[in-house]
Amino acid sequence: MTSSPQTAFVWVWPAGATEPVVAGRVDQVGEALQFTYGRRYLARDDAMALYLPELPLRTGPIMPRVGLAPGCIEDAAPDSWGQRVILNRRYGRAAQDTADLTLLDYLLESGSDRVGALDFQASAEHYVPRITGAVALAELAQSADLVDRNVPLTPALAEALLRGSSIGGARPKAAIEDGSRRLIAKFSSATDPFPVVQGEFIAMRLARLAGLDVADVELTAAIGKQVLLVRRFDRDPAGHRRSMVSALTMLELAEHEARYASYADFARMMREPFARASEAQRELFARITFNILTGNTDDHARNHAAFWGRA
């Protein structure tokens, strides 16, 4: 096995920007990831903390407040599905344990079209996005199906699926573009006990009809299976990236502490930092009610997020 990297440079898209700039770097220090802002970034007029109070704008290394890595960095890392894609791409059929690689491995090997406005590079001078060109939906669906069944991908299929490897969640998915629209394609899984894709489509449409602020969705098909297309909320109409953090990060909880997250704590912490706190709290209560009525059990702190800063 090749040795894991010890450093990655963190690039960020300032609000409304079409190109990223280097914000700083993360270094492996023991088991933890330490973050340090770059001096050139701190000197910028538009410099913005990646997230407060976690990573304040200051010189010198900053260790994680909780856990082994800053929460806003972990929010941009691939989740279990993306990790499976990367392991399949690197090792093929032998890829079973997502702990085979470190967080820095996953940050540097996942696609650049990730959730939010961060990306990670081995260089502080040259930004080289890990983004493939346009790929047919059927090709993506075929790739996702192979990974789901632990079948090694061909290099071409692995490259096609890389684009969605940095999007969170455990289910098969990929990031795609349709003209000016930025979408997430969600695929069926061989282990689905019922038509999960169609069920999510119905739930999202019901949520919209109930007055919740949810993303636009549509159903299509590829390789004979239903595919759910979800409009991305972390991209504005012009395609600019929007900074965001999860509720897990906002509540200052590490991944292993997620079971301690509560709606009550989340609602309380909304009062000060949220620009429209009362509106956000009403939306949260409506979502709680909707999830109970529809039996949604995939409702954890990583699945709630908020825009950060000037996004």
Q: State pLDDT tens for residues 20-35.
A: 999 999 999 999 999 9
Q: Does some domain include residue 127?
A: no
β-pairing, 244-246 vs 305-307, is: antiparallel
End-to-end CA distance of the chain: 40
The CATH number given to whatever domain includes residue 218 is: 3.30.200.120
Distance CA 144, CA 131 (A): 17
| Percent of the chain that is helix, strand, coil (3-state, to 5) | 35, 20, 45
Please tell me whether residues 218 and 249 are part of one structural domain: no
Q: Does some domain include residue 2?
A: no
Please tell me whether residues 216 and 286 are part of one structural domain: no
pLDDT of residue 280: 94
Question: Which residue among 121, 145, 160 closes a domain?
Answer: 121
* Intervals of the chain under pLDDT 50: 311
Q: Does some domain include residue 211?
A: yes
Q: Are 120 and 210 in contact (CB under 8 A)?
A: no
pLDDT of residue 210: 95
Question: Which residue among 121, 156, 180 closes a domain?
Answer: 121
Please tell me whether residues 157 and 222 are part of one structural domain: yes
Query: What is this structure's pTM?
Result: 0.91
Q: Are 25 and 40 in contact (CB under 8 A)?
A: no
Please tell me whether residues 179 and 256 are part of one structural domain: no
Alpha helices for 92-225 (secondary structure H): 103-109, 137-148, 155-162, 196-209
pLDDT of residue 136: 85
Please tell me whether residues 106 and 68 are part of one structural domain: yes
Distance CA 78, CA 130 (A): 14
Choose among 190, 166, 192, 169: nearest CA to 89: 166
Q: Does some domain include residue 261?
A: yes
How many independent structural domains does the chain possess?
3
Please tell me whether residues 248 and 227 are part of one structural domain: no
Q: Does some domain include residue 109?
A: yes
pLDDT of residue 246: 95
Question: Which residue among 231, 265, 298 closes a domain?
Answer: 231
**Residue 166 tokens, joined:** 């940095």
**Residue 305 tokens, joined:** 């997020």
pLDDT of residue 96: 60
pLDDT of residue 311: 45
Q: Are 42 and 141 in contact (CB under 8 A)?
A: no
Q: Does some domain include residue 172?
A: yes
Q: Does some domain include residue 129?
A: no
Please tell me whether residues 250 and 286 are part of one structural domain: yes
Could you list the residue range(s) of the whole structural domain that residue 146 is in? 137-231
Please tell me whether residues 90 and 174 are part of one structural domain: no
Please tell me whether residues 112 and 156 are part of one structural domain: no
Q: Does some domain include residue 236?
A: no
Distance CA 309, CA 242 (A): 9
Please tell me whether residues 195 and 156 are part of one structural domain: yes
